[in-house]
Amino acid sequence: MDGEYMRPASAPRHHGFRIHHYTVSYCRAEKTVPHAAPHPGYEEYRAMKPPSNIILKVAIPTPLSRAFDYLPPGGGGDTAPLQPGMRLAVPFGRGKAIGLLLAITAASEVPAQRLKRVHDVIDEQPVLPAELLQLLIWAAEYYHHPIGQVVASALPVLLRDGRPLPQHTYWSLTASGAQVVAASLTRAPRQAATLGILARHPDGASADELAGISGWRATMRTLQHKGWVQCTQNTHLPQSVPALNEPPAVLSAEQQHCVHQVLAAAGRYQTFLLEGITGSGKTEVYLELIAATLRQGRQTLVLVPEIGLTPQLVTRICRRFTTGIAVLHSGRNDSERLADWQAAASGSARIIIGTRSALFTPLPQAGLIILDEEHDPSFKQQDGFRYHARDLAIIRARELAIPVLLGSATPSLESLHNALQQRYVHLTLGRRHGVATLPQLQLLDLRRQPMEGPLSRTLLDAIGLRLQRDEQVLLFLNRRGYAPVLICHGCGWLARCERCDARMIHHRARQQLRCHHCDAQRPVPEQCPACGDGELRSVGFGTQRLEETLQQRFPDCEIIRIDRDSTRRKDSLQQIYQQIRAGRRQILIGTQMLAKGHDLPQVTLVGVLDADQGLFGVDFRASERMGQLITQVAGRAGRADKPGTVLIQTHHPEHPLLQRLINHDYHAYAMELLAERQQAGLPPYSHLALLRAEATHRDAPLTLLDGLHAMLDATRPAGLQLLGPVSAVMERRAGHYRAILLLQAAQRRSLHQAVELCLQHLATLPLARRVRWVLDIDPQEVM
């Protein structure tokens, strides 16, 4: 979502209730929004007499794009506590479902005799605040996704099945206890220590905060008996104020300017794009902004693209701040995530760090949102509710009237375009922080060169030289497994996936063949399945085979492989990172997991083994992603006091895009790509929606999309272009044949009108019930 957007006023309200409409100029000042005090419809609801007129609009997680009407619970009691954002247990079909109250009205299109009553009101207070509920309603309309599924995705897993919020116990001083001078209790040191902790937590202290006092529970009972301490149970944790632990770093003039610019926008909406070269100290800018936000008594939400980046960032933040940190990502179990979600929702956690879904965390005292590595495609959800966390973060910041900071060394073309259009404030960090200097980049022409596997002699010599100096080397190969091809030398048989149009990857450690698309697995055959006697050979290199080759060439060197296979266990990536930080004379082998944001001060040489993969991709974003990936990988070299070198192996050293990159000029590289996009009319100069269809029969997806194409041809909203339908590049995946239809328009209004027509037409087609189809607004992958 990269430019101005206004939801068409004439579009159908497909959620079954009147939504407060927005007029949003996505990156500009004008906008009208409903007031959210305390919740939409709440005052009207309180004024309704008699209670029989009350209709509850409930979101239920089903594929149906509508809300469902219910009557309040029976019994004739006072129903005034009902507010949007509460969870309700309702009858649904022949069973029961857990829904969320969206709105309270006085009328329903369903006949009164068919309306059912709510079974139970689960919550005493809304679990989702008004501003977050409005964001979800807006997102459901923008992404054309069922509101029930959107709302469910915003709740922790343990709250989706109707469980009550866990109760937390905490202790605080009574009025008489506050008068006691702890230092006077010389003969009762445990009581004095306990009173001291409670005095530092005026809103109450939890068991974790009291655990450092031996036998504190018995001491607490004594203090309660004296009337000095009271015990309270609540679903919300008491607020805690993070204390400074590690002194802040001295900021450069560039960093100070960035901090001052963002702080000047405190209390109002503004989007900032921080474009800082690798190693320029963007994290220190984040930390200083977090500290300033804490001094204002506000919360900061920090979003990172992947779990792998979270432990390192958490470590940096914990070194600076001692308490009040919540961590939300799928690597934590459900109980841990719920506890931190509650800490954020209560205001107890003032710093919230997480991946894209953490965006939907309630923030009662929101002050700042930060997105690190804003260009990363991981911020776009690729299944289910296909939202982009960066775009919704900007919408949420606008609703909350707070600044949002997008940080990256390689900003997305959409964000750069918005900065050029002055929709974002563009901040830059052009120098590396401290004594570090930019690495020297060099292209290695592989044409007619002798190779040792995927390694040229020049690169091998450079590796040996760094190891003699007890330095670290990073080799980037974005292909995990042992080898991408297993072939019979006798008859040419290839190990192919039986469910996908793809070859299976050889994983030698477990002697398995795996499909990296559908996750199918089978043992490596002992002999060729086709001819029965040919020799089976592994062709090509993955990270596992590269590791084996380097162990043979450098037997005295520690080699560490970082990919999805080596980091499956919980906390394994953090342990590997600690191993790297503590070691010397190491070779690090990594996929793109190692390219993102990691600070590796001992690395002085980076080798990019295959730079040509992204030069000729079928997706129009391939060149952008290639440039970002190479720049990010290269940025791992020379981040401390030792200079760094980056050697990029390629068969196309004369390619103009590679020539741009070796001059550390990502901005010029991006400007060149933007010019190409403008000429081709591609995003950010147009807007896309992608319809994907798949079925077990080859013709069904294309037949369905052909029907949509014919319908749109007949109506043809102004400015709409249709591309396809065509079979996907990988036509068969996981046993299903796939096809796509791309909708493109210069104006969002035309695009969304066309999407609405498609959805209405699909609802009438019998074939649409036999073909699985999905809609992707602003797709990041189009093939």
Lowest mean pLDDT among 4-18, 188-202, 539-553: 4-18
Give the pair of three-digit tokens for residue 349: 């956690």
Please tell me the distance from the alpha carbon of residue 251 to that of residue 276, in angstroms, as a whole number.
14
Burial of 664 (0-12, 13-18, 19+ CB in 10 A): buried
Q: What is the pTM of this model?
A: 0.85
Q: Which residue has the higher pLDDT, 416 or 236?
A: 416
For residues 186-203, average pLDDT: 84
Q: Which residue has the higher pLDDT, 16 or 481?
A: 481
Q: Which of 557, 560, 593 is nearest to 575 (CA)?
A: 560
- Does residue 27 surpass a pLDDT of 50? no
Please tell me the distance from the alpha carbon of residue 108 to that of residue 100, in angstroms, as a whole number.
17
Q: Which residue has the higher pLDDT, 220 or 202?
A: 220
Q: Which residue has the higher pLDDT, 291 or 30?
A: 291
CA atoms in the 13 A half-sphere facing the CB of 145:
24
For residues 29-44, average pLDDT: 38
Lowest mean pLDDT among 18-32, 227-241, 364-378, 395-409: 18-32
Please tell me the distance from the alpha carbon of residue 263 to that of residue 427, in angstroms, as a whole number.
13
Give the pLDDT band of residue 242 (cuts 50, 70, 90): low
Q: Which residue has the higher pLDDT, 310 or 670?
A: 670
What confidence score (pLDDT) does residue 35 get? Answer: 31
CB 444 within 8 A of CB 650: yes
CB 204 within 8 A of CB 238: yes
- Does residue 77 surpass a pLDDT of 70? no
What confidence score (pLDDT) does residue 263 get? Answer: 97
Residue 346 is classified by DSSP as H
Please tell me the distance from the alpha carbon of residue 80 to that of residue 102, in angstroms, as a whole number.
15
Give the pLDDT band of residue 236 (cuts 50, 70, 90): low
Give the pLDDT band of residue 37 (cuts 50, 70, 90): very low
- Please tell me whether residue 345 adopts helix, strand or coil conformation: helix
CB 734 within 8 A of CB 518: yes
- Does residue 550 surpass a pLDDT of 50? yes
What confidence score (pLDDT) does residue 24 get? Answer: 25
Q: Report the relative pairing of strands 603-608 and 472-476 from DSSP bridges.
A: parallel
Task: Note the pLDDT tens digit of each residue in 272-301.
Answer: 999 998 888 899 999 999 999 999 999 999
- The rounded mean pLDDT for the chain is 85
Q: Which of 606, 562, 566 is nearest to 472 (CA)?
A: 606
Q: What percent of the chain lies above the pLDDT cut of 90? A: 52
Q: Edge-to-edge, what's the strand order for the sheet holding 505-507?
A: 505-507, 512-514, 521-523
- Does residue 30 surpass a pLDDT of 70? no
What confidence score (pLDDT) does residue 510 get? Answer: 83
Please tell me the distance from the alpha carbon of residue 338 to that of residue 170, in angstroms, as a whole number.
18
Residue 436 is classified by DSSP as -
Give the pair of three-digit tokens for residue 432: 């590396």
Q: Report the relative pairing of strands 95-105 and 87-92 from DSSP bridges.
A: antiparallel
Give the pair of three-digit tokens for residue 378: 């991981």
What confidence score (pLDDT) does residue 14 get? Answer: 38
Give the pLDDT band of residue 21 (cuts 50, 70, 90): very low
- Please tell me whether residue 440 adopts helix, strand or coil conformation: strand
What confidence score (pLDDT) does residue 302 get? Answer: 96
Work out the angle at residue 395's Cα, subtended by the Cα atoms of residues 389 and 397, and round it to the nearest 5 degrees: 100
Query: Exposed e or buried b for every residue in 311-332, given b needs 16+ CB within 10 A?
Result: bbbbebbbebbebbbbbbbebb
Give the pLDDT band of residue 5 (cuts 50, 70, 90): very low
Task: Note the pLDDT tens digit of each residue in 356-388.
Answer: 999 999 999 999 999 999 999 999 999 999 999
What confidence score (pLDDT) does residue 79 get? Answer: 46
For residues 220-227, average pLDDT: 90
Q: Which helix (H) or strand (E) holds 59?
A: strand 55-59
Task: Note the pLDDT tens digit of each residue in 303-351.
Answer: 998 876 666 777 788 888 876 889 888 778 888 889 899 989 988 899 9
- Does residue 241 surpass a pLDDT of 70? no
304: Cβ contacts below 8 Å, ≥ 6 apart: 310, 313, 353, 354, 355, 372, 373, 597
Query: Exposed e or buried b for every residue in 34-52, given b needs 16+ CB within 10 A?
Result: eebeebbbbeebeebeeee
Give the pLDDT band of residue 429 (cuts 50, 70, 90): very high
Please tell me the distance from the alpha carbon of residue 284 to that of residue 64, in angstroms, as a whole number.
46
Radius of gyration of the chain (CA): 29
CB 267 within 8 A of CB 315: no
